[in-house]
A and B are shown apart, each in its own frame.
Chain A
Amino acid sequence: MRDAFIDCLVELAEVRDDVFLITGDLGFGVLDEYAERFPGQYLNVGVAEQNMTGVAAGLALEGFRVFTYSIANFTTLRCLEQIRNDVCYHDASVTVVSVGGGFGYGALGMSHHATEDLSIMRAMPQIKIMVPGDDYETVESTKYLAEQTGPSYLRLERGSVKLAAVEESNFNYGKARLLRPGSSLTVFCSGGLTEIAVEVADKLLKLDITLRVHSVSALKVMDVQAIRDAAEQTHGIITLEENTLLGGLGSAIAEVCMDEGIAPKTFKRLGLGDTFSSVVGSQDYLRHFYGIGAASLEKTVTTILGGVK
């Protein structure tokens, strides 16, 4: 997703002289083309994210469409108040980009695990939040946000995510994109966990289980109709996120259910508990270890459906 984002930004900068990329001294080898081709629309501010975000607000208020870029929590938590006061309160057109959402930098340790960012950013007034589920959604999200005024947050996987047998023309901001049709249960997921949801859905076909899978790329605008349909047409809803359960995707969908009077037959949230990820390892390993991997999802599905039967 990182490369898809940068490639998209290069294309945008080719036709727009207001697009401006600021990095907090990260992006080795991936920002070179952008930096060389658009030096007037590029800045490496050094390892100084508070200043990066303040400078971004200043540039945006003077007419630039700014993207701040770093990994994991550095673009968000380190400079949270700058995002709140300088960017959001001023409705500044800054997109905060975090690469390596969740366990993308799994072996690097807790400091590099972005596992609360979505909850925290969800609480931020006026900011749009996008968590693309694959490279296609990454490009569409980037293009969409570049056209918007005001603040936004874009959380990206470090690696590429390409989903098999999925339509790539149905991106619609605020709509839960259908990745697999089904009537057994519905999985709403965000980010690179789409890969796991699709993998499990395909595997369970052998058991005559059809898992409906939606990618929820916009976390501030919930697709109420898709949630209502899931509740009415399938045996329940599972949410899957690489983020704490405290305030992320699962919380957002639960809120919609309560607010809209939607009562799914079963409801289960898969995400991280109220704990730090002190174990390290590959992203796959950590997803498995913390209960958001394929095995956990599969077990959750079969357990729920076993109960239904």
Chain B
Amino acid sequence: MNSQQLAKSVRKHVVQMTSAGGSSHVGSALSIADLLAVLYTTMNVYPDDPSNSKRDRFILSKGHAGAAVYAVLAESGFFPVEWLKTHYQDGSLLSGHVSHKGIPGVEFSTGSLGHGLSVAAGMSLAAKRKNETFQTYAVLSDGELDEGSNWEAILFAAHHKLANLTAIVDYNKLQSLRSTELTLALEPLVDKLQAFGWQVIEMDGHDHEDIKKSLAADSGEKPKFLVAHTTKGKGVSFMENEVLWHYRSADKVELALALEELGE
């Protein structure tokens, strides 16, 4: 499956899972579908041996978009696609915020924002100290950058020249209640990250070729921050750029409309 097909599958799963579970954050999950699809067709992953020591490490720090990770893992062969139907259901392991317990391929559990980048930095440092070659990736939300702990990690990764670490911010510019700029302004974000000592690359977070090129770019001795310009709710017209879909899930009619738009 190529990355475009994978992204499409992830989107379909995400709207179905969140609709069936009546769960929030469908917009957040759709926002990163392309990022995940490119990552999981680019990273070294071993669906039949998920903890293979050579695997690249991936942490979804914006754990509320966990449905998208479960979907990409299932479609990549880590566990049966059937499991996705249990998302958000009584007794399920597939919680709304991503959890590693009993779920092959999930590197790290998150949900409270501002945790993932520090852990990813620790993994990157471990690789450096042990001369291991795996890469570590962390996907953060833009609203998540309000958390001060991220800036501790941003200082840390640059100081220790963690060139094996790539952070990606899903910059859809909408957070919990309204825009990032009206909530707690991030701009000029690129300048800030550069000033902290990272190699910063802006990209279209829905353009697979742009994402691939940015992931492959050499950052020298610096850690790499990819600022992914994205659209919250991408792929379903009535969900795009609407903060409502941070909370709502599709009812039956809306689900049918969404799946039709996504090509089913």
Contact = CB atoms under 8 A, between A and B. Distances in A.
Contact of A46 (B117, B127, B155): B155
Interface string A18-55: 00000000000000000000001001011010110111
B123 A54 contact: no
Contact of A50 (B118, B120, B130): B118
Given A48-B152, A90-B109, A58 B129 contact: no
Nearest to B121: A55
Q: Which of B117, B119, B123, B130 has the most CB of A within 10 A?
A: B119
A61 B123 contact: yes
Contact of B118 (A58, A60, A62, A64): A58
B125 interface: yes
Contacts of B129: 40
Q: How large is the interface on B (under 10, 10 to 19, 20 to 34, 35 or more residues)?
A: 20 to 34
Given A58-B122, A58-B123, A61-B123, A51 B109 contact: no
Contacts of A58: 118-126
A59 interface: yes
B122 A57 contact: yes
A298 interface: no
Q: How large is the interface on A (under 10, 10 to 19, 20 to 34, 35 or more residues)?
A: 20 to 34
A45 B111 contact: no
B114 interface: yes
A54 B100 contact: no
Q: Which of B108, B111, B126 has the most CB of A within 10 A?
A: B126
A81 B115 CA distance: 9
A244 interface: no
Interface string A62-96: 11100000000000000001100110011000000
Given A64-B126, A81-B112, A86-B115, A54 B121 contact: yes
A63 B126 contact: yes
Contacts of B108: 61, 86, 90
A58 B108 CA distance: 9
Contacts of B126: 58-59, 62-64
Interface of B: 100, 108-112, 114-115, 117-127, 129-130, 148-149, 152-153, 155-156
The 8 closest A-B pairs by CB, nearest first: A58-B122, A54-B118, A62-B126, A51-B152, A55-B122, A48-B152, A50-B149, A58-B123
